[in-house]
Structure 1
Amino acid sequence: MSRSGKSRNAPSLQTSIPAGAVPLESILCTEELHRRPSRPPDYEKENRALVKLVSALADSPSTILQTLAETILDITQCDSAGLSLLTTDGKTPDVCGKRFYWPAIAGTWNPHVGGGTPRNFGPCGDVLDQNRTLLFRHFERRYPYLLPVIPAAEECLLVPFYVAGEAVGTVWAIMHSDRRKFDAEDDRVMASLEKFASSAYQALIHIEDLEFQVSEREKAEAEVRELARGLEAKIRRLVEANVVGIVMWNLEGAITGANEAFLRMVQYDNEDLASGRLRWTDLTPAEWRGHDERAVADLKATGIFQPFEKEYFRKDGSRVPVLLGGALFEGSAKEGVAFVLDLSQQKRAERALRRSEAFLAEGQHLSQIGSFSWRVATGEITWSEQLYRIYELDIGVPVTLELIRTRVHPEDVTLLEKMIEEARDGSTDFEWQYRLMMPDHSIKYMHAVAHATRDQDCQPEYIVAVQDVTARRLTEEARDKARSELAHVARVMSLGTLTASIAHEVNQPLSGIITNAGTCLRMLSDDPPNIDGARETARRTIRDGNRASDVVTRLRTLYSKKDLSPEWMDLNEAAREVTSLSLSELRQNRVILRHELAEDLPPVVGDRIQLQQVILNLLRNASEAMSRVNDRPRALLIRTERDEGDQVRLSVKDTGVGFTAQAADKLFEAFYTTKNDGMGIGLSISRSIIDAHHGRLWATPNDGPGATFSFAIRCRPEGLEDPKTRVS
């Protein structure tokens, strides 16, 4: 809060108010200050107090705050007085501090020096939030953490305390009894003392800052003197250590001295140096001489030349890349010294990095994977070239979230917004799939994986890999379509083998219709006509007609050809429909069919036709597995039950020949069969159907003869509404 009244730190208090705390208004009595009888001003005493504060500032600046507290105690005749300062480090006033501390207290509360109150819920915070003087009565009724501070405060007068125009604390006076009450004169005196104390405290800060600067300057000068004393020795050690190349030269082009590091760099020796044949002008390739000329010009103008890269010829004619910088000797216009760093290893690393980047770019191009980084705090987004190609944007165009939105499919923009919101809320890894709509309205399918990390400023940053999976998605759709076609063919072939059973199922109601129709005609021909009997016979005719219609409807459903269409369905009912179509064939094969269908079975979500195809395949396989069994009953059990993990299981158990351990791993492979006339696609298709339903299909040998084939699917997958709560 500044003196102008604008809040710079006004946190919400409601979230911190404990249960049972009284409202702020119930403990404020500020307006009473100017209604109470006021004592006359004592300017002489006030002036003595100011003189005491000035003396404290001059003689003992560090005690200025305690002197202020004692002065308030003396002038207002209160029981306790002190200061509260906002701080972050427990010492330095800070307008953004989270807690007040009490650096000085006079009177009864003096033992509590060093204590404090929170910024967001306390009387000092109230004063800063309202930026005015406040008078409290028994503030512990609102702030229960002050209850242990004894004796309790009957009244407390608090005045904002400013430093450099910012409210960083309060000056306060407390009465622990009702022997006197604060009045308008106390308010005036407290405000006057606060202004003086504010100026004095700022002066104290400046004094301490000046003392620190003087101390630091003296320390720096001592370090410079020490550095100067050892500089010559350090330079000599540097030259002799041969860590970097050191060369002495003149502007005519001669090299007058050099250490071993430089000589090894250019493959010369001390004899070459002593002969005078070693010249920096001869070591410089022609294309680098322009750089040397600019360095010489800088030397003549300023006495130094800034480091720059160039190349030197080696003795064998090869080149060495170097970093060169130097200066003229003091007092000399033609001679100087330079350091030379061999950049060969750095250049090799740079070439390797460029090669690696080229490999990465080509790898991203071949795999259709782009990458980018996103600094959440600043919104800075950096894309790889491949990602520009995927999004079909010009390479180098500044990337923003808004630009990305223009490419995202309209139906997936909500998904993008949710991803951005989650990324801003927390630094966690995540992945998502979405679509792009290109300018020509073509669709691309994307799969992105994001890894959360921190940048050099410890701010959240995401590294994201984005793969264009359009080709894979189209391949999967083509595969699913082919699988659906194959499943339809298998379904038709399975139903073709049930021709006799289907004919029997249709013939039975048709025979009933013919018989009932004849009976109805005879009853109507009687004299008198038997109307009631004819009516009942007609009802039976309609019943048999409906039975025949149901059979045809089930056949048409199983013969139908359509995409996966999940819906809520009763697995028991689906199983009964399939067994009713297969019943005649099972009886013909002397199979004893038994049902154990759970009565409390919950509905499942699935494609009714495809799941019935799986049941039909399992029934037929079980029947065929028992076709050569003659020494025991051909028993077939179809069972439904709840399974673990909110799933429903359907099992088909037979007493057939079973399967060997070697065949167990191949049962569900395409075109694997143990039958002479089998194609080996039934179980393979069945597994693909169950996989598409996010379930599992498996086989286990029985304890006795035969095997059990089972599948389990989920009852309530995400994304579909529960039929029990669905509103029609």
Structure 2
Amino acid sequence: MADVRIAAACLKLSKQMMGLAIDLGVMLNGLSAIAWTALADGRVDFVNRKWSEYTGLDITASSGTQWRNAISRDDLPEALEQFASILVSGQADEISARLRRHDGQYRWHTLQLSPMRDANGEIVRWCVLCIDIHDLRRAQDALKRRELDLQLIVESIPVPVTVTSPTGEVESLNQLTLDYFGKSFEELKAWRGNEVVHPEDLEAAVTGLEASLANGATYNVESRHRRADGIYRWTNVRGFPLRDRDGEILRWILLSIDIEDRKRAEITLAESERHLNETISTLPALIWTARPDGTGEFFNRYYLDYVGRTLEQVRDFAWTSTVHPDDLPGLIAAWTDIMASRMPGAAEARMQRYDGQYRWFLFRTSPLRDQHGNVVKWYGVNVDIDDRKRAEEELRRSEAFLAEGQALARMGNFSWHVDTNEIAWSEQLYHIFGIEPGTTMTLERIIAHCHPEDLCLITQFFEQGQRGDSDIECQHRLVMPDQSIKHLHLIAHRANDRPGRYEYIGTMLDISQRRSSEEALDKARSELLHVSRVMSLGALTASIAHEVNQPLAGIVTNASTCLRLLAAEPPNIEAAQETARRTIRDGHRAADVIARLRALFSKRGAAIEAVDLGHTAREVIALMQSDLDRARVTLRTEFADDVPLAGCDRVQVQQVIMNLLRNAADAMSNVNDRPRLMWVKTEAEPHGMVRLSVRDCGTGFDPENAERFFDAFYTTKDDGMGVGLAISRSIIESQGGRLWAELPANAPGAIFAFSIPVHSTSRVP
């Protein structure tokens, strides 16, 4: 019977020891003293924060046998031998050795090893407390190897420590305790009645201590203690029993840890959470929280009103009943993956509104972590994206229509960031260029596909973009892989991305078919023009012959009659005189025919009026723009603002300007090594004249032939008649002006200019 009682007592003590070991591990992590635990074989599996702060080694660098790196090499062999001996003996013991601090300094410590056993008495873990005994080394050396001066230990712990007897009587206090409370040892011995503990917390503190004394369990109570300055501060009192080898409690060690700041933070946090919950409930968004396992915990008022349910009806996993059945499996799978990753995530699904209608929502969630990185809660918000989903569907349809339209129109879009030269193309552009879709496009790759004769055009296009011109365009040719030629029309408009940066949005049109049609049309037009010129010349010749032939025939007849009358014997002077008068009459008739033909040729007389040469030139340019574009001519204008109005016939001057523009374009038809540039300029001249000049960059002319250009039927064109400039000079001179040709200084090409008097109403007095 006695043996049964002894066995039961041993079992009880073992259970108490096992519970003590578990709570001790928790307590050690909160201690300011260095402590760690090891498995039964001596491998370290836990170090408290003080160990990491002191040695600079975290649990990763201290686990297993790596804790030895913190032991002085001089002390390590003996320490390991003692450590092994303790493991073999299975009994609590201690080791003295120097520990390396994080700054490299070594200080003497006592490593107290205590075994923790399971219900069967088997050692499951060792608890090690490292006590700094550097300053007390001399005193410790005088003690026996396995003896420990408790008071020295207490003084070495950097928190207030109280040592009591097994019955709870105060036996000793470290100096920190006396300083903290500002009381003597005798005063603190009677702590139950001298307001050391706040009156509201005293009963709980006493009750908790008595319970620990009775059952030997770890003491852990939070209470307010009165500091030396009279202020009560929250303190966490943690007590654990110090036992002998037989398991009997020798003393109780009570650590008083100031948690005032933490307590205030908890109160503040609780208050903040209350305000946060109130705020969240009023926000017009579907907001929720979930536990670490994914079960719903909180749903704000807006969420509940939207689904038309109570908190109990959506709590835990009941919220899934509001998700569309077709979307639920995918949402659950996404939610599971997010929880496994412990990272923020999102998913889309349809939710049922209170009226039964389903709408698309974006489920967004993010984890709340504790100081160790563990997920303690999930916060989420459901955003209504039904309108966006519909818009995306419409956008997809629009993009499909746009792509189809671009394919039909042989057109593609692009964007070009000038500062980074980043280029984005639509799929149709890749087809136009014959390049694999998705290929990264660069300026060099685009230029490489251009026709060699058009490199100057595409280079000029990019230079205009780099200068920041508002609108840029050009027409150029592509050389395809099969050596076929494509004609492109490139148009771009600058959009300000942000200050100092330019982005161009543009379109490329495949105008190969149109260009072929235009070339065929031009050929037909040229042939028709040639036939028209031949027919016009024939008709003009026939008209002149018909109109002049009769008076000439009369003159010849009258002259013959006159000769015959004068040759008669005697001469018929009177009749001859009458015949001569008829001859003169027929001569006047011929002159009248010529005058009528000239009037017919000019169609009407000149009507002098006030004319703005710049505006008139713009009208002509607008009429000829398509012809200039076909000729790949780039036109630049310089119309002065202060030019007075000219006095001239506007229609006739437009004919002159049109002729000069056409001649300039023809002069550059064979220019392929540089841009085909043309300048039209107006300016005021001295002595009441207004000037308009047209300059090209063609091959120019021999200065000795400058005046021959204005001779009738002189031409340098293969298909020219040589009458355009002659007629133009006649028009200008008939209106008091002058038309001439000159060469530009240090530049290729030619300049044709005319000046006309200022209109009388525009003259300066």
* TM-score interval, smaller chain: 0.3 to 0.5
1 or 2 for the larger relative contact order (CA 8 Å, sep ≥6)? 1
**Larger CA Rg, structure 1 vs 2:** 2
TM-score, with normalisation over the residues of structure 1? 0.38
